Structure 1
């Protein structure tokens, strides 16, 4: 393999790893909401868009830059998620999951239509913070600082959330709530508040991914539409509700997508769905899901 081929391969792997970072964070939020709350949140892509739009509006109207937006946008969107869960989704407890899916699908269409009506369909640029401009020449690939930041930040975020869910008392309460909420309430835990906060945390993760993506892709009302189908495929492959499956599946499938662009570019847009079909045929619960 000559040097130019190595550079192409390394470049596509880097792009795949960056895409995988977004897939992992978004899939993680979706897996938390479904696995712990049994809610199929079809508004997840719109909440990702809302995070990017919040970052752009904070900069445009309030002069609040990227670093503060990383905190403010997830908090704002997380608060919106709590209101959504308490105001609408809580009323659907005990009914078929299809009603929650249809409700969140309607919310997604409303959010997209609202922002499209105000700002139109054209993408709006969001500049990279000055501290993360430039990059490093690694001989086989040029690594932009912001891309490296995305990869590093997403790894820390994903595995911090995994640790909180799997290794802490709060996480044990969350997992127990899905099995026996009455038992959790007997320990003095307000289950309804816990459910609302969990949903808010899942939506905040989607918004955080939107802020991270804003300098890479232009911010627009449509930015979460196509990504949502890929994220659902990642969650299915990893196992619906599996936190570890969402993280590993997101990163791995991003890399697979990048490799496919080198080997057979025509299949890069569908390779994740081909993998999903193969996984469902072999293991319907997903790679890390419980049968």
Structure 2
């Protein structure tokens, strides 16, 4: 999420562990901690790991966890066999990370090489706290990075791509070597004014091999967003309910897989 003007419809379907935290001066903060159980496969042996996410409304709505984020995380865990190869050794960028809920789920469930959690500067402190909270839950060898990225900012997009290029297998610093394999985003197109900067960023980061997974509220995301996607040379596929956890069937939230069109 990049703006803080979303409808006040706070989602509470995740498990709240602690409703409030007390600051050093005895004041109550707007911070909650939620937990997510993630199934992990290690050498054909299934186990569970428990992720902790601190949610803080102080910087805005991006400090909370929303249904589309829960949906994408749950879908990836459920369909992890289908996505295992896609994520293995991949460079993953999450746009509008907020709490890092989806990106850290990927870092715990799969084995990407790098996961870049990006958001506005106001949300980076909370992101870093959640990365620290879950450092022991991330799969061995996975590197998690936190970066500022305001959609549409050419300078920040270039900085991200330079970092991607410098950390790839060849250690190159040229932008041509920057390959983003997966782009993740949830609740990122809930206002029409976000379409242009968001798609500017997606266009800059995505190559012909990039898989883009977006979780969207269908009431908030207008047809104009998908029309612009097509004009920009992308094709999209709505993931059917039959592939989602049953508790999300028939909801007003959809998952979309997007790729550059091969003409």
What TM-score do the two structures reach when normalised by structure 2?
0.25
Q: Tell which has more relative contact order, 1 or 2 (C-alpha 8 A, sep 6+).
A: 1
Greater share of residues in helix: 1
What TM-score do the two structures reach when normalised by structure 1?
0.23
